[in-house]
Structure 1
Amino acid sequence: MHSPSIHPPLLIQPPSSPNPFNTHSPMEFSHTLVIFSTIFFTIILTLIRPKRRLNLPPGPPGWPIVGNLLQVAGSGKPFFQYVRELVPKYGPIITLKMGTRTMIIISRADVVHEALIENGQVFATRPAENPTRAVFSCNKFTVNAALYGPVWRSLRRNMVQNALSASKLRTFREVRGVAMDKLVDRLKAEAEANGGAVWVLKNARFAVFCILVSMCFGVEMDEKTIEQIDEMMKLVLLTLDPRLDDYLPLLRPLCSKKRKRAMEVREQQIAMLVPFIERRRAAIGSLGSDPTAAEFAYLDTLFDLTVEGRNDPPSNPEIVTLCSEFLNGGTDTTATAVEWAVARFIEAPSIQSRIYEEIKSVVGERKINEKDIENMPYLNAVVKELLRKHPPTYFSLTHSVTEPAKLAGYDIPKGANVEIYIPGISEDPKLWTNPDRFDPDRFLTGGESADITGATELKMIPFGVGRRICPGLGMATLHVSLMIGRMVQEFEWTSWPQNSKVDFSEKTEFTVVMKNTLRAMITSRV
């Protein structure tokens, strides 16, 4: 369950005004004058100040101060594609100078193992945040964003033990069943109104969000309310898209309108979620008198959470942040995987036919449930291949080093952004046979293996690896498997328009999604 709110510059946007001298007031002009004066003197100091030359990994040459930032922003390519083209030229460990930040990109399994397994403690922290983003994370008070240390240990331990453990996940079995029924009903209604055509990502996203809202808040909500919360979460993610001032802090005075807008979104987020927090706070004292309240929710664990180094429990804004992390981290990643899965089923009908036959042989005519999945080796192989070929994100959450370090013989400066380019590993021909081919049988008759936790081997890491591996790994694979199983059991999926080819082009939103959102034809199997 990666939170997509923290990532490398996948969508770097240029400043809103193409000419920084188009000021409209003396105050704006003075800001501009200060910025460019500071840049000038910074260049002079950079040129005359002696310092030890680091042996950084290779990378494309850049400009003074901005480094490679304008090359990336001006390439017109998604960041993952820009990196994909650098790897053959510069190798498995690359340096990009992104303004004031040094970015180290790793794309080979042995180098990742050296960093995150052999030297896991050194590479386990997170880089500094833009002040605007820090407002949303309550100064890194989240599992994903926290610096390596006591706060991170406390938050992660609570999430894993009290929300994402196998035993806790089982308590939400009924919630998942209800969400799957809603998904089937929504797909049927949409198909009936549109000549059999349905939007895959939109429906999958709503279904998984319903599950996570119930797990998080433990109070019953109608579909309209759930959709409103979902829209709020998407707005937050859009607000957190990387900007040039993330890499050039000197530009922040020119981004005051965006910063003001971010503060407004944060206030809206708090205003929307606090009433549900307070409703749950009141409900847990009298569960028997509220028939809509669940017996347990992730929120319950946050009210009196003890965090190392702190005397007080989390405040309401901090609880909003932790709940948002829980919701965002598991929604788009799962829904994206389901969309890619349906695309593969349309491209290769034999795959969905084999899943359907396996379901019939294991469960007969009743609805598939999560217990059944354990007895479906082909379905599990499909999910593994899906996560190998279409990981939810192409970069794991950004790592940073707690002290100057060495990696593959190169210097890694303290505070550097360390990015793991996941396809460099999952598509490595030295690790995989025909890595470009989508082939679930590689895990069955092909004799290939894949430990997605990285505990026994490092061949694919869709959820990261090491100390900062995604804590929602088990929940994510469960949700993807269950949704795929139920969707294939209920419907046959074919192309829309009929006989058209699936376009597997990619683009980056919160996750790596299909460039052209998938619409498919469904035919009920009942």
Structure 2
Amino acid sequence: MSLPLILIAISLTYQLYRRLRFKLPPGPRPWPVVGNLYDVKPVRARCYAEWAQKYGPVISVWFGSTLNVIVSNTDLAREVLKEHDKQLADRHRSRSAAKFSRDGKDLIWADYGPHYVKVRKVCTLELFSRKRLEALRPIREDEVSAMVESIFLDSTNPERKDRSVQARKYLVALTFNNITRLAFGKRFMNYEGIMNEQGKEFKAIMANGLKLGASLSVAEHIPWLRWMFPSEEEAFTKHGARRDRLTQAIMEEHILARQKSGGAKQHFVDALLTLQDKYDLSDDTIIGLLWDMITAGMDTIAISIEWAMAELVQNPRVQKKAQEELDRVIGFERVMSEIDFSNLPYLQSVVKEALRLHPPTPLMLPHRANANVKIGGYDIPKGTTVLVNVWAVGRDPAVWKDPEDFRPERFLEEDVNMKGHDFRLLPFGAGRRVCPGAQLGINLVTSMLGHLLHHFCWTPAEGVKAEEIDMLENPGLAAYMRTPLQVIATPRLPSHLYKRVASDI
């Protein structure tokens, strides 16, 4: 018997064994060897939601010989993230995640256990404490003011024939600079997109890491075929080494700076180096934590704001109502600060509504069963990868009235927590794996959106109707808009409020 036939026989036997032994959730019929790899549409959250309409809210999808179970409603999300949280608290690590996290020596990709508990304690008590977040607030507000100034200069430049601006350009620059300043105390890019050499290397590493991490390669999901793709293993090794070189160089800069100054600043790299002995953190863990913050906090924030802006352009009533609240609370003689959030309930509701409809990571991160459990009455065997389709949960008609409508008022009518305590709204996850930086993310999104609305009126680009804006997602782990948002920004405050006052932190 030839090798391909042997592999097909093994695959069929394994799948049949699992189906006979366990009562697995229904789903599309898998092909031999590859499973459903070639049935999955590029935008996976939408694809899984379509399959859920056909097969039910909990489905089985096979990637090679790996069983994936996807849940798509609020009740099943609660089962996964609360009732069976402990049994589903491990991580499924792709080859890239395993390589770059040193098999889970960071936080995001660590299995649940003593290491995870220790590192999460570092994040909760030390890195994302209220005191540290407040100390770093001037950095966040400085970068927002720099973005506002850049948009103002571009939108009022008389030499520009096209009045529209691409929102993503400014949002990516802001989140890039913000996270690098919070993590490393360094600014790599200006708001024209021009970077220094270290910034170019940093951005290239980010882009390459996302490309490698989003792979649907056959070798990713069928381990016994990996010998046929040696170039992929080489790519992972080279990327990891390149990333580590850059991070080590920045860490050494901070070590030297601390030795000269005799103390550390609030930036995350300084904090981790200071805490290294106290918590027995390896260099691998420090590098892993820094990149966890970068990957989790960079694209996701820009994605959230771009979707929110698209919805506000399509819904001028909502935009006007949010601006009326800002004008009433902030006025026209100063700019918004994070300390104003508690007095801006409608703005907070706009943020929640945007994250409900457009979660930046629509499938969350993959959980892995460390024991046999039951979800929705079906067996979930040990080792199964479990995904929560947050995109579908946010549109669950059983819990949301008119789920496709952008209506922030729903969150004024009922307070819904979005930090993992209410399973209808899960942009940051829930349970043992809830994002420890959720409050930082909420602060960033609320601040950026508030400034953009207070400083400018937003309308579609010339010749484009609001309803013509492309509201579909780009394929990938993070759900950018498929077509970058082009809008016209019209200033609405006195000109002196658009000038950035740089922070020296």
- Structures share fold, TM-score greater than 0.5: yes
1:452-489 deviations in Å (ceiling 9; x for gaps): 1342x321111111111111211111101100111112
SS class of match (2:273): coil
2:185 aligned partner, one-letter code: G
Residue from 467, 472, 490 that aligns with 2:455: 490
Residue from 140, 151, 165 that aligns with 2:104: 140
- CA–CA separation in structure 2 for the residues paired with 1:48 and 1:238: 34
* 2:267 match: 297
Moved more, 494-503 or 387-396: 494-503
Identity of aligned residues (%): 28
* 1:60 match: 28
* 2:497 match: none
Residue from 199, 222, 232 that aligns with 2:166: 199
Q: Work out whether residues 381 and 443 of structure 1, in 8 Å CA contact, stay in contact via their aligned partners in 2.
A: yes
Deviation at 1:262, TM superposition (A): 2.5
Q: Work out whether residues 459 and 487 of structure 2, in 8 Å CA contact, stay in contact via their aligned partners in 1.
A: yes
- CA–CA separation in structure 2 for the residues paired with 1:46 and 1:303: 47
* 1:449 match: 415
SS class of match (1:440): coil
SS class of match (1:406): strand
1:279 aligned partner, one-letter code: E
Alignment of 1:22-421 (within 5 A): 36=4, 39=7, 42-43=10-11, 46=14, 53-72=21-40, 76-130=41-95, 132-191=96-155, 192=157, 193=160, 195-219=162-186, 223=190, 224-225=195-196, 227-228=199-200, 229-242=202-215, 243-287=217-261, 295-303=265-273, 305=275, 313-315=281-283, 317-364=284-331, 365-421=333-389
- CA–CA separation in structure 1 for the residues paired with 2:187 and 2:162: 33
| Closer/same/farther in 2, CA of residues 319 and 244 from structure 1, 3 Å limit | same
Residue from 455, 471, 480 that aligns with 1:504: 471
| Closer/same/farther in 2, CA of residues 487 and 288 from structure 1, 3 Å limit | farther
Deviation at 1:355, TM superposition (A): 2.0
SS class of match (2:208): helix
Q: Work out whether residues 287 and 295 of structure 1, in 8 Å CA contact, stay in contact via their aligned partners in 2.
A: no
1:305-361 deviations in Å (ceiling 9; x for gaps): 5699x9x6312x543332111111011111011101111121122222222222222
Deviation at 1:222, TM superposition (A): 6.1
- CA–CA separation in structure 1 for the residues paired with 2:70 and 2:330: 45
1:115-140 deviations in Å (ceiling 9; x for gaps): 2212211111112432x432211111
Deviation at 1:96, TM superposition (A): 1.2
* 1:458 match: 423
1:140 aligned partner, one-letter code: G
Deviation at 1:182, TM superposition (A): 1.4
Deviation at 1:37, TM superposition (A): 7.0
SS class of match (1:384): helix
1:451 aligned partner, one-letter code: N
SS class of match (1:506): coil
Q: Work out whether residues 107 and 422 of structure 1, in 8 Å CA contact, stay in contact via their aligned partners in 2.
A: yes
| Closer/same/farther in 2, CA of residues 523 and 179 from structure 1, 3 Å limit | same
Pairwise CA RMSD: 2.6
Alignment of 1:468-487 (within 5 A): 468-487=433-452
Q: Work out whether residues 177 and 187 of structure 2, in 8 Å CA contact, stay in contact via their aligned partners in 1.
A: no
2:119 aligned partner, one-letter code: L
Q: Work out whether residues 305 and 314 of structure 1, in 8 Å CA contact, stay in contact via their aligned partners in 2.
A: no
Q: Work out whether residues 137 and 145 of structure 1, in 8 Å CA contact, stay in contact via their aligned partners in 2.
A: yes
* 2:503 match: none
1:375 aligned partner, one-letter code: N
Q: Work out whether residues 208 and 331 of structure 1, in 8 Å CA contact, stay in contact via their aligned partners in 2.
A: yes
Residue from 429, 433, 438 that aligns with 2:397: 429
Q: Work out whether residues 126 and 146 of structure 1, in 8 Å CA contact, stay in contact via their aligned partners in 2.
A: yes
1:430 aligned partner, one-letter code: A
Unaligned 5+ segments in structure 2 are 495-505
Deviation at 1:428, TM superposition (A): 1.4
1:214 aligned partner, one-letter code: R
Deviation at 1:46, TM superposition (A): 4.6
- CA–CA separation in structure 1 for the residues paired with 2:18 and 2:189: 63
| Closer/same/farther in 2, CA of residues 35 and 237 from structure 1, 3 Å limit | farther
| Closer/same/farther in 2, CA of residues 222 and 417 from structure 1, 3 Å limit | closer
- CA–CA separation in structure 2 for the residues paired with 1:283 and 1:489: 39
- CA–CA separation in structure 2 for the residues paired with 1:62 and 1:47: 9
2:340 aligned partner, one-letter code: D
- CA–CA separation in structure 1 for the residues paired with 2:446 and 2:246: 32
Q: Work out whether residues 492 and 523 of structure 1, in 8 Å CA contact, stay in contact via their aligned partners in 2.
A: yes
Q: Work out whether residues 93 and 109 of structure 2, in 8 Å CA contact, stay in contact via their aligned partners in 1.
A: no
| Closer/same/farther in 2, CA of residues 172 and 51 from structure 1, 3 Å limit | closer
1:178-210 deviations in Å (ceiling 9; x for gaps): 101211222234332453221111211211221
- CA–CA separation in structure 1 for the residues paired with 2:141 and 2:147: 10
1:346 aligned partner, one-letter code: V
- TM-score scaled to structure 1, two decimals? 0.85
| Closer/same/farther in 2, CA of residues 77 and 220 from structure 1, 3 Å limit | closer
1:264 aligned partner, one-letter code: K
Deviation at 1:515, TM superposition (A): 1.4
* 2:501 match: none
Unaligned 5+ segments in structure 1 are 1-32
